[in-house]
Structure 1
Amino acid sequence: MSETPEAAQTAQEAIDDWGSAMAEQSQATAEPTPAATPESTALPAGERVFQPLFSSSDPAISKNDIDRVMDIPVQLTAELGRTRITIKSLLQLSQGSVVELDGLAGQPMDVFINGYLIAQGEVVVVNDKFGIRLTDIITPSERIQKVSK
């Protein structure tokens, strides 16, 4: 089979394209990359990338940083008790049904912040609404012990 002159010309152009691409590649590898130059903007490993949250030099700035956090809302939940029931029992519940909980009457309630136990307290009534009088604040070490159980 013999090639037509047009096919030969197309093949020659493809070879020329490959040749120019290879020349560009060899030229690019010969030049140093900007990241490898000594003028790079990378910080040495010992330097801090972020500023410290609290600086002891200016207490007014530290107070402003803490004030920003004070307005963040959290979810406070008080729990009387828990229980496990079957789906059959759940479907039989109606208005007026009583569900027995594992907590005893008069026993302190658990108080959670964003799902973490932080205190225990007792139920009080304040202006015809329920409230909680905190009787025991859980220390951070006690929280860790309860989580690890």
Structure 2
Amino acid sequence: MSEEDDLSAWGDALDEQAEAEGTDAGGDDPWGAALSEQAAETSSNNSDEIDAASFDALEKGRGDSSEKVDLDVLLDIPVTLQLEIGRAKVSIRNLLSYTQGSVIEMDRLAGEPLDLLVNGTLIAHGEVVVINDKFGVRLTDVVSPQERIKKLK
């Protein structure tokens, strides 16, 4: 079945449905009328001819700079913060042999900064601090948005 036949069938089906419901296909069901009209135009036009598209003039609307965007909606979205001190690849055999007191060697040197990840994306580097007997992180270097975009590519 060609596209022309398909459009015609949809238009006819929507017209039939509108008639069964007791409504005018052109009035209450603009989709049926439009599909029928498009099928009729397609069958009358030569398939090699191409019509130029016409567009309405753009008007200022939702993108108007005078409207204030309410960012408060975004401020309450929860995100996951992760601190990564390093990584290690181990075999399952070694993983199963670990016991209490085992030491796992990481790929970073002592004194190197930690990575702060937000939802899995590197945001900053920092160092561990202790405040009132709790761990914290002092940010030493924040990754710029341009650098984050470069890493995505």
Length-normalised TM-score, structure 2: 0.60
Task: Tell me, in whole angstroms, the C-alpha distance in 1 between the residues paired with 2:103 and 2:144.
Answer: 34
Letter in 2 for 1:117: L
Instruction: From the CA coordinates, give the structure whose radius of gyration is larger.
Output: 1
Segments of structure 1 that go 5 or more residues without pairing to the other structure are 1-23, 38-43
| Residue 35 (structure 1) shift | 2.0
The number of aligned residues is: 110
Pick from 100, 104, 110: which aligns with 1:105?
110
The one of 70, 74, 80 equivalent to 2:75 is 70
1:127 corresponding residue in structure 2: 132
Task: Note the 1:1-149 alignment, pairs <5 A.
Answer: 33-36=32-35, 46=56, 52=62, 55-59=64-68, 62=69, 65-148=70-153
Distance in 1 (CA, whole Å) between partners of 2:146 and 2:71 is: 24
Q: Which amino acid aligns with 1:34?
A: A
The offset of 1:104, in angstroms, is: 1.1
> Which sits farther off after the overlay, 139-148 or 109-118?
139-148
Secondary structure of the equivalent of 1:35?
Answer: helix
Note the residue ranges of structure 2 that are not aligned, 5 or more in a row: 1-11, 17-24, 27-31, 38-53
Structure 2 match to 1:11: none
- TM-score where L is the length of structure 1: 0.62
- Alpha-carbon distance change, 132 to 35 in structure 1, aligned in 2, over 3 angstroms: same
| C-alpha displacement of 1:120 | 0.4
Identity of aligned residues (%): 47
3-state SS in 2 of match to 1:69:
helix
Q: Which has the higher helix share?
A: 1
